[in-house]
């Protein structure tokens, strides 16, 4: 079935930008860039390590809601606001994706809010597709 399904965390960013947190079509799940905000409380830690962990919690939950697993991820685009954050983000991604080994592209660039330190965008392909 090739029906398109839109998923949302109902964050104010999604409402303002009129985008979905993820789009599922066929065996594919495309996740929008996701930062370290805890969307339940709309708070963000000042710590890059905690932001990265929160980002991973969010994308893992969205993947699960979409019917995918973290092991279905085939591509990651990572944006870190400062070069000094990359080793911290790299360590966490290394632990999360050690046996999955998706492709990865990383940019060092400012993010849209000064308190954001990391943003991850992912593409997943359902196993067996």
Rounded to the nearest 5 degrees, what angle is found at the Cα of 49, between the Cα atoms of 8 and 52? 20
Edge-to-edge, what's the strand order for the sheet holding 28-35? 4-7, 22-25, 28-35, 118-125, 73-80, 103-108
User: For residues 103 and 40, what is the distance between their CA atoms, to the nearest angstrom?
Assistant: 30
CATH number of the domain bearing residue 120: 3.30.1330.40
Model pLDDT for residues 59-69, shown as the tens digit of each residue: 999 999 999 99
pLDDT at 82: 97
Model pLDDT for residues 2-38, shown as the tens digit of each residue: 789 988 887 777 778 888 889 999 999 999 999 999 9
φ, ψ dihedrals at 105, nearest 5°: -125, 130
Per the structure, how many domains does the chain have? 1
> Would you list the DSSP string of 51-112?
HHHHHHHHHHHHHHHHT--GGGEEEEEEEESSGGGHHHHHHHHHHHTTTT--EEEEEE---S
Tell me the residue range of the domain where 61 lies. 4-125
pLDDT above 90 as % of the chain: 79
The pTM is what?
A: 0.91
Model pLDDT for residues 72-90, shown as the tens digit of each residue: 999 999 999 999 999 999 9
Residue 66 has which token pair? 């979409």
Residue found under tokens 């962990």? 53
């Amino acid at each position: 079935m090739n029906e398109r399904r839109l998923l949302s965390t109902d964050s104010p960013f999604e409402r303002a930008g009129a985008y979905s947190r993820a789009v599922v079509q066929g065996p594919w799940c495309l996740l929008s860039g996701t930062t370290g905000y805890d969307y339940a409380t709309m708070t963000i830690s000042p710590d890059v390590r905690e932001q990265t962990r929160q980002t991973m919690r969010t994308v893992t939950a969205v993947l699960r809601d979409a019917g995918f697993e973290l092991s279905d991820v085939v591509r990651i685009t990572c944006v870190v606001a400062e070069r000094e954050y990359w080793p911290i983000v790299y360590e966490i991604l290394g632990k999360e994706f050690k046996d999955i080994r998706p492709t990865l592209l990383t940019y060092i660039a400012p993010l849209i809010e000064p308190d954001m330190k990391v943003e991850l965008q992912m593409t997943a392909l359902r196993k067996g597709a």
